[in-house]
Structure 1
Amino acid sequence: MISDNKDIYRVLKEAKTVAMIGCSPNEYRTSNYAAKFLQERGYRVIPVNPQAKEVYGEKSYDNLTDIPSDVQIDIVNIFRNSEFSAEAVQDAAEWKKKTGQDPVLWTQLDVSSPEAEKIAEENELIYIKNRCIMVEWDRNFK
């Protein structure tokens, strides 16, 4: 698990593509604002939401594992209620097995759960717990 600010800075600096689970096309939702925020700072944001066709010009996928395996994902940002976080982390573990990629899991504020953390640990996934990606970006790059 990552909690050190230097490690968070490194993750944000090195990342190019963020898959955002729970990214909403509704501009009044925080996940939508976060997607726009990250895009404006140079990240490619791939929405994962079965209720959306696209968000800010990016095709939305029903599930993380539906994203083509040749797409490099650096961060999986989980923007769902904590009751769904374990399922999202399991999907990231499946993505890792399918592609050989090792994205950083990033859970937004109050999104992590003990079960999600356990799944991440069992699958050797790097995990950032309950941190707002926008706040951390501002803290590190403003």
Structure 2
Amino acid sequence: MDHENYSDEYIGDILAETKTIAVVGASDNVVRPSYMVMKYLKRKGYRVIPVNPGKAGNELLGETVYASLKDIKDPVDMVDCFRASDAIPGIVEEAKAIKAKVIWTQLGVFHSEAARDAEEAGMKVVMNRCPKIEFGRLSGEIAYMGGTSRIISSKRNKLLGKRNERT
């Protein structure tokens, strides 16, 4: 797969099918991107599980913080990585062990060998993207803030429809 370019359908399907997201590198600092992304995704109906060894056992946005992916007892659909690129292979190994369906790395985070490893294990991979931005863009929501979705339709967007069904 070309990890420089993803189709809107590929990203949209991942966001529509995902229910639970583990955020590796979660922060309790409200000005950090990981906190903002977790809060946004939670508002959109996702269950967001924070992972940060330094904060393990604490509560963040109504969820227990875990030290690692392997400590999470519930199924995880997506692992969203707020870590440096060199940490991604280890995170992929943990994600494979818990049978996560998707590895997603944040803006500026890319590791082609880890992506290949995850895909060979049957996982979907998105690198160098933000699920908050992609959700807003694909749902048309970002257009309210002056962005453009290039979508004009009277049909309800599948991302917004599925998310609202869960809340």
Matching residue of 1:77: 80
**Residues 1:65 and 2:70 are matched in the alignment:** yes
Specify which of 18, 32, 37 is matched with residue 34 of structure 1: 37
Unaligned runs of 5+ in 1: 97-101
Distance 1:42 1:115 in 2: 32
For residue 98 of structure 2, give the secondary structure of its aligned residue in structure 1: helix
Letter in 2 for 1:65: K
Distance 2:45 2:127 in 1: 23
Matching residue of 1:128: 126
Query: Which whole-Å deviations, capped at 9, do the CAs of 1:53-96 have from their partners, x for residues lacking one?
Result: 2211100111101101xx22111111111111111111111112
**Residues 1:55 and 2:82 are matched in the alignment:** no
- How well do the aligned residues superpose, as a CA RMSD in angstroms? 1.5
How far does residue 114 in structure 1 lie from its aligned partner after superposition? 2.3
Letter in 1 for 2:136: D
Matching residue of 1:106: 104
Higher relative contact order (CA 8 A, sep 6+): 1
Distance 1:123 1:6 in 2: 22
| Percent identity for Structure 1 against Structure 2 | 40
Distance 2:45 2:115 in 1: 29
Matching residue of 1:99: none
How far does residue 4 in structure 1 lie from its aligned partner after superposition? 1.3
Name the TM-score, length of structure 2 as normaliser: 0.75
Name the TM-score, length of structure 1 as normaliser: 0.88
Structure of larger gyration radius = 2
Distance 1:112 1:50 in 2: 22
Matching residue of 2:97: 94
How far does residue 126 in structure 1 lie from its aligned partner after superposition? 1.2
Distance 2:108 2:91 in 1: 14
